[in-house]
């Protein structure tokens, strides 16, 4: 078995967590159904809400204060600040979201973190005898 690529590196590049060659994304933010290079199946995997939380923290801590500082330093009208910074904030959010979705997907795949589904919980309840 080939050695897996480092998850953060392959996630930032948007590559398959198993081989590091195939594309992870089928669209800008949508995951592919599987890897075209090694055949890994991505259909049951998801990065969840984790990437969104990190995007909110990063943008809220670094980008929003930059917009506020712009307005305070330049004494620009509010409409001008909104016209300039709204597209910047949207583009930064989308760019970070793609990068972080790739990284978190790769980390979850590498560490075998799986989302527990309702049918798995029911199966476990059936297998565990009542006490
Ligand atoms: Zn692959």
Dihedral of the CA atoms 49, 32, 20, 108 (nearest 10)? Answer: 30
Residue 92 lies in a domain: yes
Cα(42) to centroid(ligand 1), Å: 10
| 22 domain residue, yes or no | yes
Partners of 25 in the β-ladder: 31
Instruction: Find the domain containing 59 and state its range.
Output: 7-117
The 10s digit of each residue's pLDDT in 12-55 is 999 999 999 999 999 999 999 999 999 999 987 777 888 999 99
CA of 102 to the centre of ligand 1 (A): 13
Domain-embedded: residue 54: yes
Q: How far is the CA of 29 from the centre of ligand 1 (A)?
A: 18
**pLDDT at residue 70 above 60?**
yes
CB 40, CB 19: distance < 8 Å: yes
> Read out DSSP for 69-88?
HHHHHHT--HHHHHHHHHHH
- Give a yes or no: residue 129 inside a domain: no
Is residue 67 in a domain? yes
2 in a domain, yes or no?
no
Residue 112 lies in a domain: yes
Query: Which range among 25-29, 52-56, 83-87, 115-119 shows the weakest confidence by mean pLDDT?
Result: 115-119
Alpha helices in 32-131 (DSSP H): 50-58, 64-74, 78-110, 118-127
Ligand 1 mean position, distance from CA 95 (Å): 23
How many angstroms is it from 31 CA to the middle of ligand 1? 13
The Cα 102–Cα 1 span in angstroms is: 23
The rounded Å distance from CA 5 to ligand 1 centre is 10
Q: Is residue 93 part of a domain?
A: yes
pLDDT at 22: 94
Count of domains in the chain? 1
């Amino acid at each position: 078995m080939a050695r897996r690529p480092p998850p953060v590196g392959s996630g930032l590049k948007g590559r398959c967590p198993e081989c590091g060659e195939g594309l992870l994304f089928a669209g800008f933010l949508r995951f592919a159904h599987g890897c075209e290079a090694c055949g890994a199946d991505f259909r049951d995997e998801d990065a969840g809400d984790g990437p969104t939380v990190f995007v909110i923290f990063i943008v809220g801590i670094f980008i929003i204060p930059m917009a506020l500082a712009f307005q305070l330093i330049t004494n620009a009208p509010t409409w001008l600040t909104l016209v300039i910074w709204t597209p910047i904030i949207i583009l930064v959010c989308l760019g970070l979201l793609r990068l972080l979705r790739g990284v978190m997907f790769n980390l979850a795949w590498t560490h075998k973190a799986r989302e527990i589904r309702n049918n798995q919980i029911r199966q476990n309840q059936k297998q565990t005898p009542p006490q």
